[in-house]
Amino acid sequence: MALDIENPIEGSFQIIGGNFDNAGEASSQLKNRLLELNVNDDIIRRATIATFEAEMNVIIYAAAGRLNFVITPTQIQIRIEDMGPGIENIEQAMTEGYSTAPEWVRAMGWGAGMGLPNMKKNSDVFKIDSVIGEGTTIEMTLNLT
Partner 1 sequence: MTLGEIIDILDATVITDSVDLSINIRSGCSADMMSTVMYYHTADSLLITGLSQPSVIRTAEIAGIKTIVFVLDKIPDENIIELARQKNIPLLRTSFCMYTASGRLFQAGLPSCLGK
Partner 2 sequence: MKFKDLTEELSLEIRTCRDGLRNDITGAYVSDLLSDVMGNSKAGEIWITLQTHMNIVAVAGLKNLAGIIIVKNRKVPDDILQKAEAEKVTIATTPLSTFEAAGRVYKMLQ
Which are the contacts of 24, defined by CB distance < 8 A and separation ≥ 6? 52, 55, 56
Instruction: Give residues in contact with partner 2 (CB under 8 A).
Output: 95-97, 103, 106-107, 109, 112-113
Cβ-contact 101, 111 below 8 angstroms: yes
Angle at CA of residue 64, ends 68 and 80, nearest 5°:
25
The sheet with strand 135-143 has its strands ordered as: 9-16, 64-71, 75-83, 135-143, 125-131
Cβ-contact 56, 16 below 8 angstroms: no
Site membership for partner 1, residue 57 (CB under 8 A)? no
Site membership for partner 1, residue 13 (CB under 8 A)? no
Site membership for partner 1, residue 139 (CB under 8 A)? no
CA distance 77 to 81: 13
Among 9, 17, 25, 43, binds partner 1 (CB under 8 A): 25
28 binds, among partner 2, partner 1, none (CB under 5 to 8 A by kind): partner 1
Angle at CA of residue 113, ends 89 and 23, nearest 5°:
110
Q: Which stretch binds partner 1 (CB under 8 A): 22-30, 68-76, 85-93, 133-141?
A: 22-30
Site for partner 1 in 85-124 (CB under 8 A): 106, 108-112, 114-115, 117-118, 121
Instruction: Return the number of the residue (73 or 94) whose C-beta is nearest partner 1.
Output: 94
Instruction: Return the number of the residue (43 or 73) whose C-beta is nearest partner 1.
Output: 43
Q: Interface residues with partner 1 (CB under 8 A)?
A: 20-25, 27-28, 31, 45, 48-49, 52-53, 56, 106, 108-112, 114-115, 117-118, 121
